[in-house]
Chains A and B, each alone.
Chain A
Amino acid sequence: MTNILEVKSLTTKVSGYTILNNLDFSIQENELRVVLGPNGAGKTTLIDMITGRYKPKSGKIIFNGEDITGMAPDKIFVRGVSRKFQVPNLYETLSVYDNIMVSLKGRRKVMKSLLGKVTKQDNNRIWEILDFIMLAEKAEDSVDTLGHGQRQWLELGMLVASEPKLLLLDEPTTGMTKDGKEKTAELIEKIALDHTVMLVEHDMDVVRQIAKNVTVLAQGQTLAEGPLSEVVENQEVKAVYLGKGVLDGT
């Protein structure tokens, strides 16, 4: 197995604060990696760096053997990295169907999309995805009629539609009911069957439901990494979540 994503000694600062501190991190192909960590540990910032939203102060990001550090977001996307935002980030005035439609893989160039039509295959693919994210009934409705959970699913569906090599999911279950969380976790598990997924998650029920490999970030660095069962027993990790001082060695 090769590493599809490698982050090498990444450092970044935002208005004087160090968010990521010399972070090394990698994900293998077809892996489902869960990233845990307390607030402010740098999880979202890591995703921002990988997807080109901000440029790191130093360090390198290598995706699929290519250095993508500092590339524009759309260029990074075309190479196969899709991200989901913490707060669902949708096209508010479009219908559910159209949200998926504009996310379908390919045809990102102006002239191509000018001539492009929605083919039968496209249509079938969109319905497939709508079924998958359980929104087929809502296909014609505009996005602002969706409930919060459905919005999260729709964004997942949009990512799937773009057929990326790597999905970065930033807390896809926030603001959901228990039932919703379970369903979302199932979705993610299904997606992970044929995609590489990096999941940032807080909810331990969700994590327990789907996680195999876990990385714990704290203060911009990797605190622990490994299979869930091992990491859960790690004293430092417990400390982060259960209150034993992080560095006091107890």
Chain B
Amino acid sequence: MVQNRQVYKAPMFPLWAVIAAVGIVLAIATYPFYGAAYVTSLLGKFLCFSIFALSIDLIWGFTGILSLGQGVYFGIGAYFTALSLKINYAAVNPTRYGGTIPDFMEWNGLTELPGFMVPLQNLPFAIIAGLFFATLLAFIFGVITFKRHIYGVYCAVITLAESLILQEAIIEYQAYTGGFNGITDYGTHAQINVLWLILVVTIIFFIIGRILTHSRIGTILKSIRDNDTRAEFMGYNVANYRIFVFCVSSFMAATAGAMYAAWNGIISFLDAGPVFSIEGVIWTAVGGRGTIIGPFIGAFLVKGSEYFLSGKLAWTWQLIMGALFIFVVLVMRDGIVGTIGKWWSARKKRISN
């Protein structure tokens, strides 16, 4: 037996990719110094959307579970952070009623901060609580469904309902959430250090995603996605793996939500709703599911073109979105990155032949 043979493994972080990434990161990090303010404000948002899409990709692209309610976790992260910021902002900037608690509490008849919200005055605590709560909810949801082998269409519909219910609950309990109006006017956090923070977190999640999918556990996840029966008969507790990934992905989504709330300065129930969730799925699908870079490309491309086209094209934009869903499903199943990847490997094969 020949010892110490190796298979060629694509490097976890190939040099060209690292160089390209450093270039892109530097370009984004310094953009505010030379770019337009409006585009800067979009950049921060899109980065958060990218992380959100990445979180969907982790469960859909890498374990095959389609969640149409990922917005739930994004929303939880966003609401905890925004509430905390709003409470703090209201305390020093008197609201229109002159009080020191958020205005939506006042017009709902509250006269002081409810007891359970007092801890939210501490921003780091609020953020951590949001992340924890989102992950916990994902865990509970995973245990309920995955352990009972509820996958596929059923799971998709239940997650959709989940986000719908959260959305309605947010609107209903407006004394604590701002209701239909969302939470707004809590100071401006679209500052360069926040942009850098978002960028750093994006890089970290990118690396985590890459490690999760290109290491041993990544191979296991792919094997579960490819053939969960085989994996089960190979001794893997498939449900546990899925719950784990679902929790990680929810954590990511919640983090994205938290940063989005700080950057954007306004959030609403829509950030937790089904439409946003499904939009995230389409970003992932367009970029290429099952790839780490795909969600980033998809989010920037779809969202970017929406912002720059929808003003001029108004209703046409929605038509394009609808057609995009169908196109991605029928024609471009692997998304942009997947299609390019396939074309590339086919070319390589042609050349080597």
Contact = CB atoms under 8 A, between A and B. Distances in A.
Is there any pair of Cβ atoms, one from A and one from B, under 8 angstroms apart in the complex? Answer: yes
B234 A124 contact: no
A93 B216 contact: no
B353 interface: no
A73 interface: yes
A157 B217 CA distance: 20
B236 interface: yes
Contacts of A77: 232-235
Interface stretch (A12-20, A32-40, A115-123, A227-235): A115-123
- In this complex, the member of B215, B217, B238 whose beta carbon has the largest number of chain A beta carbons within 10 angstroms is B217
Given A92-B227, A128-B1, A98 B234 contact: no
A94 B230 contact: no
B57 to A, nearest CB: 15
Contacts of A110: 217, 237, 240-241, 244
Interface in A86-109: 89-95, 97-99, 101-103, 108-109
Contacts of B232: 72-74, 77
A198 interface: no
B170 interface: no
Contacts of A123: 4-6
A42 to B, nearest CB: 19
Contact of B235 (A78, A90, A92, A114): A78
B233 A73 contact: yes
Contacts of B6: 123
Given A78-B235, A91-B222, A108-B237, A113 B217 contact: yes
A72 B237 CA distance: 9
Interface string A16-53: 00000000000000000000000000000000000101
A114 B226 contact: no
Interface of B: 1-8, 215-217, 219-220, 222-223, 226-227, 229-238, 240-241, 244
15 contacts: A74-B232, A74-B233, A74-B235, A77-B233, A77-B234, A83-B233, A85-B230, A89-B233, A91-B223, A92-B227, A102-B231, A109-B237, A117-B216, A124-B3, A140-B7
